[in-house]
Amino acid sequence: MICPQPGEVNIGNCTTQTCSACGYVMKGKEHLTLRDREWECPNCHTSHKRDQNAAQNILQRGLELAAML
């Protein structure tokens, strides 16, 4: 799996695997599957709902992209 470069908005896996609170990316065995509806970040221990967390990341990427224009 290839994560998008900064500035690229990708609505694939990477938004799901990234903690919207601290930016930690789940890797290896930590990787979330479609069955993981809710999870806790191993780095900052924030509880996330999978889809809500992904939406936060997409919003954040969009805002970063807009800031560069």
SS3 39: strand
Burial string for 42-59 (b: 16+ CB within 10 Å, else e) reads: eeeeeebebeebbebbbe
From the list 14, 19, 26, 54, which residue makes contact with Zn ion (rule: CB under 5 A)? 19
Please state the closest distance from residue 69 (CB atom) to Zn ion, in A.
Answer: 28
Contacts (CB under 5 A) with Zn ion, residues 26-65: 41, 43-44
Q: Considering the complex, what minimum distance in angstroms separates the CB of residue 1 from Zn ion? A: 19
Residues near Zn ion (CB under 5 A):
19, 21-22, 24, 41, 43-44
